[in-house]
A and B are shown apart, each in its own frame.
Chain A
């Protein structure tokens, strides 16, 4: 027997070259029964390895890590038992604490201090050489070993002599190891490339930084015994240590924090109490029988699975938010749960919507539930601080997200190591120009080699970042369950595992997410004096507005694609809106579900159902499966799947693209459908549409939760546009459109918008008798303190008065002057700028405390120089420079003076017939090339009357790409396309409005260069 005890995965970034699953699999293949994964300063890859290894009978996965020691060689620690594992996590946390990211290091005294704890006996230690070995001996005693590897690099004898000397002097036993960096020999080139990336070298000039051979792979017992034929005791030592390590990650028994449950209650009974109280509140006229049954069913399942604490934790957080009047709402599969509904976590009644609870939790699922809650994005930090405050930083930590190498950027990184001179070209440009660039590489067949490497590096971790809003909470100190390290964001720490790892180990995660629309809605509701639940449901005018695609600023239905769908789908009720939100997703698009649904909605085609069951399941989506839950229900009711199996089917669909595991489960469903009398072509259609869900699709409950907010935002826009825009502007950045589009949209709906004013504007945009007054925070570059000073110094009677009391930076003052901020003092933009320039030098002198130069005479404030006002276009341009918006008007109004600009406005264009050739001009708002669109590019232009969608096929895009990508104002020629109320232009040609060769446009303004 032999056990490999020093082995790095690719989570030893830029060093290890294999996934942890690959190492486990390979170890099993070559007959090793034990393997320790010992990544540098972390246990990152262990949950994935554990999840894989648990299905291999008799395979022993050992938990460990290599710790970087200060002024010494690294020390590897292996966890023998739970106590040892806790100590390992503490040490790793300490190594990372207060260090820059990626520079974890532990000092000897810190090691000694931490390991005074008796649980340190649960650790084995493996030293690399003699440095600090006496100290290690004192700490670890007979649990210390000295690693010896034979790498066949010509220095094995030297290493052996050193090791034997240390062994003789100290008695520390030798341990045979191959110090593994990859699972098999043919992965060695990847390790070379990683070394080059790490050191910024190419393969040709990396020299001795690369290994001299491929020997650092996982070797079998036979190979290791041959290598260590003269030192069998070193091999036996590995077995001895492996047998002494009995710890498994399955021992991580998770305990929720629960000290706040009232006396006399258990978690379950307290939950039951809260649930029935909540049910009374949700159903004031009595809890319906169906709801009652479902509640009982869910509570029973929760009790069996032991999740009561989790629900209580979420309920507590949501209650806190509600007390603080922070708008929040659960999303995702949690909306399938009536328990969540009555607890106030979610807002959609799943009984009414006929949702499937097993999409959320099931016995077969073997993983904990995942409840995501959205909070107002500006107040989410209050919720986060509440969690830290309540549980403490030692029991609450944020979950990490593993950022993996992306195709294009990976290609570029690898290409550099092959000597391809990519310079400062982006990843996209590198690939586009690769043929030309590859000539700089001395490597033959360089593209094939790069692609071979990038294929092997697919899904390799690059670094950890924060999983936005994801927390894990524990009754026990979190740093004894998983190491914690600093995130890049200041003040934040993350655990070394991501959400999938938590699922593998049954640890719970709470997602505290931020949603800008909740902030906007809360502000709007406060302004109109209503609560969210008080908004009248199913208002027909609201749906008409959505159908007209008049949805700029609203939630989920404002994007270009959604607007297009609005005009085609023409929602008339809440469920239509649910469908609209779900249907504009890659899943339904790839699964070819969109057109059939639309045809049936408008009566152009009849839905056909082979049997009643399918009619019941698919009836509400007119025979087209649009939601994962429908596939699950089909599987349950027609395929004989249990609810849990159906959920596995759903997961297999989701993992289709990466694992190809759908085939087995999908064929089972297909066969079951046929057996139940479903015609083959219908079953095939279902199967094909199901494959579409391999791309992203929404659960029905999630779409419904979002539809609630979408409806609310549309209702408020319809009836309270000024307040709605006020809410949006003060919640930026969020949404699809910039401030100027929101403002222009408001104005086009009759809302008056007043510009920023030194005496009248507040920090935020405000409402002034039904009109909007733009806020000072829109001023580009100004700090919050400067705004506070400005507001505090009011009223201002003149520009000089303003300047004397506001030490704002000269460039910002100049921008304000040109943005007509000082019009209140009777000065046009240039006059104001002229005055400000005179103010700048004395200020510099005062700031630098230098003597006034004889040449720097003070300006006479009454000096008689006057300037012409800015031309309107320049004025608008300067407004955009100052505020990223303009209250004066849309730039297109001014540009219509140019002869070549088509005079027809977008509003008029939209009234023309389908297939009409048109010419139109506007400001480009959006460019999109969705991967599901088959190479088609979409865009949107805006003028003073509205927004118009554009569609460019590949040949048009290729021809006009430089103009399309580098110009803001465009002249579009094409053909108008209409589908229902959806309007777009099939583009034939594009020309820039501004051209250096066109003297007329040059004469408009030099400020065109701003755009």
Chain B
């Protein structure tokens, strides 16, 4: 614990996590009701990672995301109305309904897209980091990726290049213990993805990915190093997704036990943050409830915006293929 974190930052992290949680729970219900087409990869349980990192960033800092990308965009400042509109396939969505859940993006917020390809993001984050350095900015780029993606060749190439060029890139591994439905022990022979960092010549750091404050502090150090021209860091956040790889359910599955899910839910990042905030006298239980209610209303407004938005016109099908 390096320096005192302001109440303002703690409350900011908390609110961002609540925004993700309620958005995702709502999106999951809408998907089950058949209102959202296609595949949905929910971020519930992993909120501390996105929010602990993102409070350090401005819109000029870039991130690349994953197939589980809603949380990253919300934490980066994404608006509910345009996000739901995108998930609903409406023309008012961030991508005019052409990307959907797996490609939701907003370059104005520095968010280079969710990505349907596991391992697709790290090379792009290296490109953004290269660009930041080439254009002589102090901005960083963050690549969010999972334990599964750490086995992709693309990650290896990207990590090596970032370290070689000392680029302002932070590789944030969201290790949720599963590559799709395959437990980590069955997809790699290591326990800590951060072990791989030394092979690239960059620091590897492990944090409790359910503890937003721990993520915030570790990310802060990595980002500061990057801004100072000291190169990339591999930051591994041990976390967990409450729902399945895709869709909702999550419990009663053959690939993991309900006890395991309950264990991780007992370390819920929002509950832990609210306990901390209450203990420090920053946010009472009642005030926290008020935030949940307020965000719920905002989420409902976002859903209404999406549902009342027009579908893309047939004419738009061939637009945006080329500049």
A and B held together in a complex? no
